[in-house]
Chains A and B, each alone.
Chain A
Amino acid sequence: MTSALDLVHVTKTYDEAVAVRDVSVSIAKGEFFSFLGPSGCGKTTILRMISGFIAPTRGEIRLDGKDLAGVGPHKRATALIFQNLALFPLMSVADNIAYGLRVRGATAVAQRRKADELLDLIALPGYGDKRIDELSGGQKQRVAIARALAVQPAVLLLDEPLSSLDLKLRQHMRAELRSLQKRTRVTFVYITHDQGEALAMSDRVAVMSNGRIEQIGTSTEIYDHPATPFVATFVGENNVFEGRVSAHENGMAVLDSGFGPLRARNPEGIGAGMPALLFIRPERFRVAGRVPAGAANVIEALVADSVFEGVALNVLLRRNDAPPLRVSMSNDGEMAIPVPGAALRVAFAPEDAVILRKGSTA
């Protein structure tokens, strides 16, 4: 089965600055694929190259197996949804949606029919004759999507579409976009810096930093099995321990750190004596009474601060001069809130932590 979109060793340089470095990705038909990364990581450049507004310096972009080199944005089977939506303010909602069809010479009747069909799909029936400035932010968002879907693109490209919406609306739109994608079965390529969005909506995520892809995987893979220190720290919260590997076998290893020897997974097979980083997420700690007898990776430290955030209780632990440890306890009503200054005993299972080669973090 040919994939919908292939990026093959795509590189983009501007004079000396490298915006995109040797990116290769295969996106399947009907997939919801996200590029996740901080500002300046190259994800916007990739999107503009896919849509045809910029040409890659090296490499190929293939749509359904066909190389898109030299094909302008108006001739590609992609549709782009801009960050600021770029709806046409002087046209009605229906005219906006049907614009792609008008440009292709469709009759007024066919245009109207398609517009009404899509207005139903985005749950705005009867809004055809309204003007753009009469719509709310979320409604404009949906009209922009309808306008792009009207030309029946093979791939829909979304440029951080939810970044200008408020929190509640963003959460609502996340679910809407996901369900829309499932219903229309159009391949979505989504770029964002918000990891919650990427993890919640996507089938697969590509985490990017400085023009390079750090890791491609499902949301679970990215979160539970980060491949690089950048992914481990950019996605979610993570504690980082620095140290040297002292022993390793069977895919596990021991790291000598400021908090003593810690055992964790060693997927990269880092040898003894090598410097490395150990990552363990705040929510994977067992606290005080919940630490099983004979557990590995037990740490005793003093509570520096404890912050109640509703869903979770975030505790900062300190020991000597080592960097603080972040522990997140879920607010299940059964644990006493740790008091600052008190000693606390925490532990984590070796399978929940990972040792990776030293590299740049987020």
Chain B
Amino acid sequence: MSSGQRFGMLGLLYVTLTCAIWMLLLIVAPAAMMMDFAFRPFLPPTEWGSAADVYTLRNFAMALGDEFNRAIFLKTVWASVVTTAIAFVVCYPISYILARAGRSSWVGIAMIALLVPFWINEVLRSFAWQLLLAHDGFFNQVLVGLRLVAEPVDFFGRNVGVLIGLVYTYILFMIFPMYSAMESLDQNQIEAARDLGAPWWRIHWDVVIPHAKSGLASGCIVTFMLAAGSYAVPQMLGGTRSLWFTQLIYNQFEAINWNMGAAYAMCLVVLCVAFILIMMSLFRVRLRDIAR
């Protein structure tokens, strides 16, 4: 039964219009405005529409031409890639074990344990990590107390704190697509591969990963995008000397230079799109596989 038959023409019209208006007003229009800002120079309002108000690439040149900015941009890219990789390695076994455990009672408990922290605000969770990783925080007390290190470790200095925070904050976004992709795998296929002599790594390489690849790809993509665009975590766990790209964007907007801010933001968008395309070709998935 087509949508038209099910809801009647009026219903169909209602649904289409509300979706279209929502998309246009809340997604397309702001993005278009941002793009517009990005390509125009920073001018006081009196000069808007004047001769100086032309489309230019000057903002982008300043954004990425500056060595300092470029370094921060590359650091953000690098950190997001590392975050995604760590999250992948950490979440793969967890998702696999949960998926294979089926309807066991402890699976429900594990799910709740993963889910409950997310009911708490991201900023508060980052703050909690700040306390834990502090100079006299819990981890340092344990490490020094057990005499594993001579002096307290500076987790914030070398971006370790930020990476831990980023992996932790977005862990669910990696686990759930992986879990749902792995859960749909027929247990018999795993057993068949085992029965034919495959060692465990082969079973994963030949059977599990090809089956779950759309879930793996979408987990990586979402984690990367969230890590690259994260503001609270680097702000709170990044240490005083470290500056992140999102903070640059924030600073620009704070200085009312929306044009530069928008240009920075667009760089981030382009980066994310590039990453998505790379991931899709790496895992050999098509857009509709991820959309599921």
A residues adjacent to B (C-beta < 8 A) = 51-53, 72-75, 78-80, 82, 84, 86-88, 90-91, 99-100, 103-104, 147-148, 151
Selected from A73, A87, A91, A104, the residue in CB contact (under 8 A) with B195 is A73
Residue B186 interfacial (CB < 8 Å): yes
Please, which residue of chain B has its CB at the minimum distance from the CB of A95?
Answer: B206
Contacting residues, chain B, for A151 (C-beta < 8 A)? 196-197
Please determine whether A80 and B198 come into contact, CB atoms closer than 8 angstroms. no
Residue B143 interfacial (CB < 8 Å): no
Please, which residue of chain A has its CB at the minimum distance from the CB of B198?
Answer: A103
Selected from A52, A72, A86, the residue in CB contact (under 8 A) with B192 is A86
A87 to B193, CA, bound (A): 9
Please determine whether B188 and A79 come into contact, CB atoms closer than 8 angstroms. no
Contacting residues, chain A, for B186 (C-beta < 8 A)? 84, 86
Please determine whether B210 and A90 come into contact, CB atoms closer than 8 angstroms. yes
Please determine whether B196 and A100 come into contact, CB atoms closer than 8 angstroms. yes
A73 to B197, CA, bound (A): 7
Contacting residues, chain B, for A53 (C-beta < 8 A)? 191, 195
The 8 A CB mask of B183-210 against A (1 = contact, 0 = none) is 0001011011111111100100011001
Contacting residues, chain B, for A74 (C-beta < 8 A)? 194-199
Please determine whether B211 and A90 come into contact, CB atoms closer than 8 angstroms. yes
Please determine whether B197 and A103 come into contact, CB atoms closer than 8 angstroms. yes
A51 to B188, CA, bound (A): 13
* Residues of chain B from 118 to 144 with CB closer than 8 A to chain A in the complex: none
A104 to B207, CA, bound (A): 16
Please determine whether A73 and B194 come into contact, CB atoms closer than 8 angstroms. yes
Q: How large is the interface on B (under 10, 10 to 19, 20 to 34, 35 or more residues)?
A: 10 to 19
17 contacts between A and B (CB under 8 A): A51-B195, A72-B194, A74-B199, A78-B195, A79-B196, A80-B192, A80-B195, A86-B188, A86-B192, A88-B189, A88-B206, A90-B211, A99-B198, A100-B197, A103-B193, A103-B196, A103-B197
Q: How many A-B residue pairs have CB under 8 A?
A: 58
Q: Which 6 A-B pairs have the closest CB atoms?
A: A86-B188, A100-B196, A86-B192, A103-B198, A90-B210, A80-B195
Please determine whether B191 and A86 come into contact, CB atoms closer than 8 angstroms. yes
Please, which residue of chain A has its CB at the minimum distance from the CB of B202?
Answer: A103
Please determine whether B206 and A82 come into contact, CB atoms closer than 8 angstroms. no
Please determine whether B191 and A73 come into contact, CB atoms closer than 8 angstroms. yes
CB distance from A344 to the nearest CB of B (A): 52
Please determine whether B206 and A104 come into contact, CB atoms closer than 8 angstroms. no
Please, which residue of chain B has its CB at the minimum distance from the CB of A82?
Answer: B188
A74 to B202, CA, bound (A): 12
A51 to B197, CA, bound (A): 12
A151 to B197, CA, bound (A): 9
Please, which residue of chain B has its CB at the minimum distance from the CB of A78?
Answer: B195
Please, which residue of chain B has its CB at the minimum distance from the CB of A84?
Answer: B188
Selected from A78, A79, A84, A99, the residue in CB contact (under 8 A) with B206 is A99
Contacting residues, chain A, for B198 (C-beta < 8 A)? 74, 99, 103
The 8 A CB mask of B249-265 against A (1 = contact, 0 = none) is 00000000000000000
A288 to B196, CA, bound (A): 60
Please determine whether A147 and B191 come into contact, CB atoms closer than 8 angstroms. no
Please, which residue of chain A has its CB at the minimum distance from the CB of B196?
Answer: A100
* Residues of chain B from 148 to 207 with CB closer than 8 A to chain A in the complex: 186, 188-189, 191-199, 202, 206-207
CB distance from B181 to the nearest CB of A (A): 13
* Residues of chain B from 218 to 272 with CB closer than 8 A to chain A in the complex: none
Please, which residue of chain B has its CB at the minimum distance from the CB of A150?
Answer: B196
Contacting residues, chain A, for B211 (C-beta < 8 A)? 90
Please, which residue of chain A has its CB at the minimum distance from the CB of B192?
Answer: A86
Contacting residues, chain B, for A99 (C-beta < 8 A)? 193, 196, 198, 206
Please, which residue of chain B has its CB at the minimum distance from the CB of A104?
Answer: B197
A186 to B199, CA, bound (A): 25
A100 to B206, CA, bound (A): 12
Please determine whether B207 and A88 come into contact, CB atoms closer than 8 angstroms. yes
A52 to B196, CA, bound (A): 12
A74 to B193, CA, bound (A): 8
CB distance from A287 to the nearest CB of B (A): 50
CB distance from B289 to the nearest CB of A (A): 12
Please determine whether B191 and A82 come into contact, CB atoms closer than 8 angstroms. yes
A86 to B192, CA, bound (A): 7
CB distance from A100 to the nearest CB of B (A): 4
Contacting residues, chain A, for B192 (C-beta < 8 A)? 80, 82, 86-88, 147
Contacting residues, chain A, for B194 (C-beta < 8 A)? 72-74
CB distance from A95 to the nearest CB of B (A): 9
The 8 A CB mask of B68-82 against A (1 = contact, 0 = none) is 000000000000000
Please, which residue of chain B has its CB at the minimum distance from the CB of A51?
Answer: B195
Please, which residue of chain B has its CB at the minimum distance from the CB of A151?
Answer: B196
CB distance from B282 to the nearest CB of A (A): 17
CB distance from A15 to the nearest CB of B (A): 16
Most buried by B among A78, A90, A100, A103: A103
Please, which residue of chain A has its CB at the minimum distance from the CB of B189?
Answer: A86
A265 to B22, CA, bound (A): 87
Given A73-B194, A73-B195, A103-B193: 4 more A-B contacts, CB < 8 Å: A73-B191, A74-B196, A80-B191, A100-B196
A73 to B194, CA, bound (A): 6
Contacting residues, chain B, for A75 (C-beta < 8 A)? 197
